[in-house]
């Protein structure tokens, strides 16, 4: 487990989607996963494998995607602001809806909270419609329940037509690698 300073006991279980399709997308996603470990009152519990996906409702090169599980004492809005700061530090621009991006961080689930605000909707309204979100999310939590839709696993079958390719195992030390019975890749 990678912990930032002052991680609260327990904290809220949160899932964040990561994606990039401009520049060195793989490196950007890996760097963002590392950046998540430095958020205040937050620890990264695990991250999924990296996946490659074709853009959905967008144009540009293929994306590199992953999902991270966090525990946080931050509020949903405070966490959203922290995620947007990481995006901006990676050069994220928003010239138009669904534009190609250097980094996209989406707050997918924040415990079982439901929220509708101009800048944030929880749960993410399309997480069950995107293979590049749902597959890595279910890698981390196969029995995960959505606060409105219930068990998410059955939604995966409807997404078989969306292009998705597993690229590599999670960074060394993350839980999903150990859950699958494999050893994290050696480094160095």
Taking only the tens place, the pLDDT of each residue in 115-125 is: 999 999 999 99
**Pick the catalytic residue: 35, 71, 106, 130?**
106
Residue 104 annotated among the catalytic residues of the structure: yes
**Pick the catalytic residue: 101, 135, 139, 174?**
101
- Domain spanning 2-169: which superfamily? 7,8-Dihydro-6-hydroxymethylpterin-pyrophosphokinase HPPK (3.30.70.560)
pLDDT at residue number 186: 34
Residue 92 annotated among the catalytic residues of the structure: yes
Domain ranges for the chain, please list them. Answer: 2-169
**Pick the catalytic residue: 92, 130, 139, 174?**
92
**Contact indicator for 164, 53 with CB cutoff of 8 Å:** yes
pLDDT at residue number 51: 98
Q: Please tell me the distance from the alpha carbon of residue 132 to that of residue 106, in angstroms, as a whole number.
A: 12
**Pick the catalytic residue: 44, 71, 104, 139?**
104
Q: Which residues of the chain, if any, have pLDDT below 50?
A: 1-5, 176-188
């Amino acid at each position: 487990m990678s912990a930032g300073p002052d991680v609260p006991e327990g904290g809220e279980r949160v899932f964040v989607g990561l994606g990039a399709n401009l520049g060195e997308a793989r490196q950007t996603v890996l760097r963002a996963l590392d950046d998540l470990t430095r958020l205040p009152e937050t620890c990264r519990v695990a991250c999924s494998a990296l996946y490659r996906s074709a853009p959905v409702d967008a144009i540009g090169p293929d994306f590199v995607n992953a999902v991270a599980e966090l525990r946080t004492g931050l509020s949903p809005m405070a966490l959203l602001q922290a995620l947007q700061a990481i995006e901006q530090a990676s050069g994220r621009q928003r010239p138009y809806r669904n534009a190609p991006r250097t980094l996209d961080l989406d707050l997918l689930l924040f415990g079982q909270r439901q929220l509708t605000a101009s800048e944030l909707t929880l749960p993410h309204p399309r997480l069950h419609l995107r293979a590049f979100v749902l597959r890595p999310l279910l890698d981390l939590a196969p029995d995960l329940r959505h606060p409105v839709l219930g068990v998410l696993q059955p939604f995966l079958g409807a997404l078989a037509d969306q292009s998705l390719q597993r690229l590599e195992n999670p960074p060394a030390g993350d839980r999903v690698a150990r859950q699958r019975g494999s050893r994290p890749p050696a480094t160095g």
